């Protein structure tokens, strides 16, 4: 009998049904306004950075359908294996639009082409990224245009019974400052449930003088 490693346990926990009571991915996607956006576009690609076993990847994939691809990026082979299994279990709906990408986000995502992505999502991951400068340059590089969506969802920085230790978290104000220092702008905030904040960002390209 195979005993699960801590990471395997964690990956399983990320997909537990109970999580949906305090972080509902479909509701968050609707807060983002994804469906309306997708409907208006011929092509719509998404990057789910630090995708884990696919808690957001799967509902995004469903929503995108044949309009585009979902780049599901993670550096963990364990998480990627779980993602593959979770997708395979949905074989009937075949999530053929998911492009699985093994990469360290603090180094780069060279396999995603420049200007290719209409929504970049990073959920429960930004606090963990060691080189946020490199990461945000990649976010900007892969974003298609000024109108592309960039969304950061992360844990509120306060004590609670679930989630990472408070000292590892990045509070909303601090996150906003780092994001805005990199040239992104917080356009609006979304309701991301009782334990999280959600920031929708714009990527204003510098105007040439």
In this structure, how many other beta carbons lie within 10 angstroms of the beta carbon of residue 207? 5
Q: Where are the beta strands (DSSP E) in the chain?
A: 46-49, 70-74, 98-102, 119-123, 149-155, 185-190, 196-202
Work out how close the CB of 184 gets to ligand SAM at its nearest, in angstroms, rounded to a whole number: 19
Q: Give 88's contacts (C-beta < 8 A, 6+ positions apart).
A: none
Residue pair 122/151 in contact (Cβ under 8 Å)? The answer is yes
> Which of 43, 178 has the CB closer to ligand SAM?
178
> Which of 76, 97 has the CB closer to ligand SAM?
76
Residue pair 32/151 in contact (Cβ under 8 Å)? The answer is yes
Residue ranges binding ligand SAM (CB under 6 A): 14, 50-52, 55-56, 74-76, 79, 104-106, 123-125, 128-129
User: Which residues are 98's β-sheet partners?
Assistant: 70
In this structure, how many other beta carbons lie within 10 angstroms of the beta carbon of residue 81? 14
> Which of 47, 179 has the CB closer to ligand SAM?
47
Work out how close the CB of 160 gets to ligand SAM at its nearest, in angstroms, rounded to a whole number: 15
Work out how close the CB of 93 gets to ligand SAM at its nearest, in angstroms, rounded to a whole number: 19
Work out how close the CB of 206 gets to ligand SAM at its nearest, in angstroms, rounded to a whole number: 27
Radius of gyration of the chain (CA): 16
Tell me which residue has its CB nearest to ligand SAM: 52
> Which of 24, 185 has the CB closer to ligand SAM?
24
Work out how close the CB of 65 gets to ligand SAM at its nearest, in angstroms, rounded to a whole number: 21
> Which of 41, 87 has the CB closer to ligand SAM?
87
Work out how close the CB of 24 gets to ligand SAM at its nearest, in angstroms, rounded to a whole number: 12
> Which of 51, 170 has the CB closer to ligand SAM?
51
Which tokens belong to 177? Answer: 């400052």
Nearest CA-CA partner of 68 in 91, 26, 38, 90: 38
């Amino acid at each position: 009998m195979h005993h699960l490693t801590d990471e395997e346990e964690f990956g399983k926990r990320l997909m537990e049904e109970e999580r949906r009571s305090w972080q509902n991915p479909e509701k968050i996607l609707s807060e983002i306004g994804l469906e309306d956006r997708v409907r208006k576009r011929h092509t719509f690609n998404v990057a789910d950075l630090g995708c884990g076993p696919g808690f957001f990847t799967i509902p995004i994939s469903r929503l995108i359908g044949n309009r585009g691809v979902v780049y599901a990026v993670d550096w963990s082979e364990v998480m990627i294996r779980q993602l593959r299994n979770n997708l395979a279990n949905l074989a009937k709906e075949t999530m053929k639009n998911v492009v699985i990408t093994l990469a360290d986000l603090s180094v780069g995502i060279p396999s995603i082409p420049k200007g290719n992505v209409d929504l970049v999502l990073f959920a429960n991951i930004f606090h963990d990224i060691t080189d946020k400068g490199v990461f945000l340059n990649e976010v900007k590089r892969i974003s298609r245009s000024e109108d592309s969506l960039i969304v950061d969802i992360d844990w509120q920085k306060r004590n609670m019974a679930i989630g990472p230790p408070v000292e590892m978290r990045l509070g909303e104000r601090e996150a906003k400052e780092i994001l805005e220092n990199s040239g992104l702008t917080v356009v609006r905030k979304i309701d991301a449930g009782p334990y999280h904040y959600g920031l929708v960002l714009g990527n204003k390209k510098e105007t040439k003088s």
